[in-house]
A and B are shown apart, each in its own frame.
Chain A
Amino acid sequence: SAVISQKPSRDICQRGTSLTIQCQVDSQVTMMFWYRQQPGQSLTLIATANQGSEATYESGFVIDKFPISRPNLTFSTLTVSNMSPEDSSIYLCSVEDTGTANTEAFFGQGTRLTVV
């Protein structure tokens, strides 16, 4: 199983600012994903982080608000831009060895973001 490190683990930010969250994996992985979990809710997929190309965003999420980078097979960043209190959530990184339906996903411990 992959070991995933997310930084920071939590932060309190002022509205209008941006925060970049890092996801580091201890081995090369094919797929990396970013999820959001709003308070009391389930996980929602934000985007698939593609190495060497633009991320693939889900409906309702846009690159200007959530720019994502993936420079190599072990690292990705998610930026939450121009934050508002509605962005207060847990943001989770997930990785998989293959891009198929028959493989388990591993999750980081998440970044708990509070926007004030």
Chain B
Amino acid sequence: DAKTTQPPSMDCAEGRAANLPCNHSTISGNEYVYWYRQIHSQGPQYIIHGLKNNETNEMASLIITEDRKSSTLILPHATLRDTAVYYCIVRSGGSNYKLTFGKGTLLTVNP
């Protein structure tokens, strides 16, 4: 799987948009970009994933650059409950489809 690079921590004000970057410069054409988050003492929670196009769901938006070498997860209106570690994962197709977690970004939403 391609490696990802994320900032170790970020802060965001409550009610503002949180934009979490991820670099994956060695991504291959059949690899998906996934985002999960882990709130303290809980299991990871799926947020969103995409291949080439931008994606949006009820939780967040995923913006993937045209060259697919980086992406941004957007939480449009961050709340205190969005404080968590956010993991950006690049996932291969074929037989090597396992999720490999990096260190992620600790997002702290401040009142």
Contact = CB atoms under 8 A, between A and B. Distances in A.
Interface in A76-116: 92, 94, 99-102, 104-110, 112
Interface stretch (B18-26, B39-47, B60-68, B76-84): B39-47
Nearest to A45: B98
A101 B44 contact: no
Interface string A34-46: 0000000011110
Contacts of B30: 101
Given A42-B87, A42-B101, A43-B101, A104 B32 contact: no
Given A42-B87, A42-B104, A104-B49, A99 B43 contact: no
B93 A101 contact: yes
Contacts of A101: 30-32, 91-94, 97
Contact of B99 (A4, A45, A108): A45
Contacts of A44: 101
B103 A42 contact: yes
A43 B44 contact: yes
Nearest to B97: A101
A17 B32 CA distance: 41
27 contacts: A33-B98, A42-B101, A42-B102, A42-B104, A43-B44, A43-B101, A44-B101, A45-B98, A45-B99, A48-B98, A92-B43, A94-B43, A94-B44, A94-B99, A100-B97, A101-B32, A101-B91, A101-B94, A101-B97, A102-B32, A102-B51, A102-B93, A104-B49, A105-B36, A106-B46, A109-B42, A109-B43
